[in-house]
Amino acid sequence: MIDGEFAAPTVGALADEVAAVLADRRDPGVQSFERVLGGVVSHSFRDRDALVAALGSVPRESRMKPHPQVGCIASIVGASVGPVRAAESWENAGAAGWLELCQHVALDYVAGARTAEVAARLRAGDPVPFLLSTPSWPTGAVAPYDLVARLAEYERLGVRPGPADLGQALLRIGGPVDPDAVRAAEGLRLAEGVRVADWLRQGGLPRPAWWREREAGVPERPSRRRGARTGRRILVGHEAIEGRGAFPRRFWSLFRKFEPHLSCPHWSLPDRRDAHTVATLPWHPETAAARLLTGVASAADQDGSGAPAFLEALAATDGPAGPAVHLAVAYGLASVPEQDREAAVRALVLLASRGRLDGELLGRELTELVGLGTLKVTLLIASLRAAAAAPQGAGAVWAVLTGTLPGLLAHTRPQVHGALLAVAADCARLSGARGELPEVTALAQRPGSSQLLVQARRLRDVLAGL
């Protein structure tokens, strides 16, 4: 039921991969994490004694703080090799005493509910042959027919689906409706069959209405006292999503109305801006981007930590890329950590190559953020230059600059205008752009030989086909 790169390895190969992940302590990536998680579950179902023999001697402790996903793997391994507590119930695992603290980490709550349920089920000695939510593709998405086929095997074996595992699987469904999968789900005798058929028929999680808003207050420069951002960020919120009642309670935060400026203690909670967060809801990158946009922005206007894997994962999904995704890329292009800027460049080019880049939208966001003083223009220009040098990158950058170049020139210091126009001229030449930008033409007609005027004339001539 689980094929390809996510298929469970042999028990010996699984032990080697678990040992490598736990020893490295860094993010194992979506594919390795899901393969290890699914492998432990599968082998626990097939032959628990062999699994215990293979994993029992794998070290799980370290003085170095692990990535959260490594901690999850250590917890799952511990549950799989520990004593069976058949008297314990795995239902509603982790729900007792759970309190929703922060709307920004709603996707962490979903992921945590699934791993808590898996661990509890292993401890109770009630494993499953495989997880319903194991991805079909590297983005984290589950193919509709794969989910139905897995449920059919559960039905044949008399295995009860875990609510959190099924809930995560449903959130990983999206894209065009598959009529064959819907009919197959309708034919299931499991109680969950009707719900799954309805979910597939509607195309997965409904898309909420979005809005964007700027932080309240007059934009202020950073200071040691205030931090860096009063009135300087643009964030995205969304209306409530229907259907939360069919999911475990720890999923409900995802369905609530998301208000990006609502006060919460998110600075004291894990801010996991990585590919795993996007893979939790792969057909809705807007939701992941919106809820973690404050963290992405902090890498541009404060000393925030980077999120390169998160930016690339947003671009790699198949879901619609709207204002939140484009804002994430905008912040990333001028982030202080170099890895973030490089990842944002790759994300920009990838979005363009897959027809998901809205150059006009990204250009508007960059212009407004530059005008607010949020982005460091020299870093932004360097990123645009790097993107233009990538295969197919010149067209992507020109699509961004063509409508926003006058605004960027108006909001940036004259000292950087020459560099900005040089990037624009290179992109226009490489992409074969034609037309006229009145502001550039006016600059080109001024007397003088400064770098600004030289590049303005160069861009004017390229657009004129000279």
Give the pLDDT score at 268.
53
* Helix pair angle (163-171, 193-201), 10° resolution: 10
Question: pLDDT grade, residue 271 (50/70/90)?
Answer: low
Give the pLDDT score at 415.
81
Residue with tokens 């000279």: 466
- Bridge partners, 227 (sequence order): 223
* Most confident by average pLDDT, 14-28, 145-159, 362-376: 145-159
Q: Return d(Cα 104, Cα 88) in angstroms, integer.
A: 32
Q: Return d(Cα 188, Cα 149) in angstroms, integer.
A: 10
Give the pLDDT score at 25.
86
On the question of pLDDT at 95 being above 70, the answer is no
Indicate the average pLDDT of the chain. Answer: 89
Task: Return the H-helix or E-strand segment holding 318.
Answer: none
Give the pLDDT score at 98.
65
Question: pLDDT grade, residue 386 (50/70/90)?
Answer: very high
On the question of pLDDT at 223 being above 80, the answer is no
Question: pLDDT grade, residue 270 (50/70/90)?
Answer: low
97: Cβ contacts below 8 Å, ≥ 6 apart = none
Question: Contact, 341 vs 383, CB < 8 A?
Answer: yes
Question: pLDDT grade, residue 413 (50/70/90)?
Answer: confident
Give the pLDDT score at 454.
86
On the question of pLDDT at 85 being above 90, the answer is no
Q: Return d(Cα 254, Cα 264) in angstroms, integer.
A: 15
Q: Return d(Cα 147, Cα 433) in angstroms, integer.
A: 46
Give the pLDDT score at 93.
66
On the question of pLDDT at 228 being above 60, the answer is no
On the question of pLDDT at 417 being above 70, the answer is yes
On the question of pLDDT at 66 being above 60, the answer is yes
Give the pLDDT score at 235.
93
Domain boundaries, the chain: 1-82, 88-206, 210-240+271-375, 391-466
Of the listed ranges 70-84, 217-231, 371-385, the least confidently predicted one is: 217-231
Give the pLDDT score at 94.
61
Question: Contact, 168 vs 110, CB < 8 A?
Answer: yes
The pair of three-digit structure tokens given for residue 223, joined into one six-digit string: 């200071």
pLDDT tens per residue, range 290-332: 998 988 988 888 877 778 899 999 999 999 999 999 999 999 9
Residue with tokens 């302590």: 25
For 256-261, what is the mean pLDDT?
90
On the question of pLDDT at 227 being above 60, the answer is no
Give the pLDDT score at 103.
84
Give the pLDDT score at 102.
81
Residue with tokens 């499953």: 128
Question: pLDDT grade, residue 265 (50/70/90)?
Answer: low
pLDDT tens per residue, range 420-460: 999 999 999 998 889 888 888 888 888 887 888 888 889 88
Name the residue among 95, 152, 139, 118 with its Cα closest to residue 38.
Answer: 118
Give the pLDDT score at 449.
75
Q: Return d(Cα 91, Cα 430) in angstroms, integer.
A: 59
- What φ, ψ does residue 244 adopt, rounded to 5°? -65, -25
